Amino acid sequence: MRGAWYDSARMRASVGLSLVLVLGSAHAEPPPATPAATAATPDPVAEKVGALKEAGSLLEKANAARARGNKSFAEQLFSSAELIVGPDALAELAPLFREGAPPRITTPLKQLPKDTPPQPAVVGSSDEDQPDEKPKKGSLSGKLELEGKAPLEGLGVIMLEPASGKFKHRPAKQRVMEQRNRQFAPRLLAVPVGSTVSFPNFDAVFHNVFSRSEPKAFDLGIYKNGQAREMTFDKEGIVRLGCNLHANMAAYIVVVSAPHYAVTDAKGNFKFRSLEPGKYKLRAWSESSTQPATQDVVVKPEDNTITIKLAADAPSGPGTDKFGAPRGKNP
pLDDT digits (tens, 9 = 90+) for 252-278: 999 999 999 999 998 899 999 999 999
- State the average pLDDT for the chain: 87
pLDDT bin (cut points 50, 70, 90) of residue 29 is very low
Provide the whole-model pTM.
0.85
CB contact at 8 A, 85 and 53: no
pLDDT bin (cut points 50, 70, 90) of residue 40 is low
CB neighbours of 24 closer than 8 A, spacing ≥ 6? 30
CA distance 73 to 37: 29
3 state SS for the chain: CCCHHHHHHHHHHHHHHHHHHHHHHHHCCCCCCCCCCCCCCCCHHHHHHHHHHHHHHHHHHHHHHHHCCCHHHHHHHHHHHHHHHCHHHHCCCHHHHHCCCCCECCCCCEECCCCCCCCCCEECEHHHHCCCCCCCCEEEEEEEEECCECCCCCCEEEEEEECCCCCCCCCCCEEECEEECCEEECCEEEEECCEEEEEEECCCCCEEEEECCCCCCEEEEEECCCEEEEEEECCCEEEEEEECCEEEEEEEEEEECCCEEEECCCCCEEEEEEECCEEEEEEEEECCCCCCEEEEEEECCCEEEEEEEECCCCCCCCCECCCCCECCCCC
Q: For residue 37, is pLDDT > 70?
A: no
List beta partners, residue 151.
none
Q: For residue 26, is pLDDT > 70?
A: no
What is the structure's pLDDT at 64?
Answer: 97
Q: Hey, what's the torsion of the CAs at 119, 252, 236, 215, to 10 degrees?
A: 130
Residue 11 phi/psi, 5-degree rounding, is -65, -40
Residue 304 phi/psi, 5-degree rounding, is -110, 150
CATH number of 122-310: 2.60.40.420
CA distance 246 to 263: 26
Residue 233 phi/psi, 5-degree rounding, is -105, 105
CA distance 247 to 237: 23
In the chain, the percentage of residues whose pLDDT exceeds 90 is 71
Q: For residue 174, is pLDDT > 50?
A: yes
What is the structure's pLDDT at 38?
Answer: 53
260-263 and 122-123 strand pairing: unpaired
Q: For residue 33, is pLDDT > 80?
A: no
Domain ranges of the chain: 4-99, 122-310
What is the structure's pLDDT at 279?
Answer: 97
What is the structure's pLDDT at 328?
Answer: 64
CA distance 253 to 240: 7
Q: For residue 307, is pLDDT > 70?
A: yes
Q: What angle separates helix 44-67 from helix 8-19, to the nearest 10 degrees?
A: 30
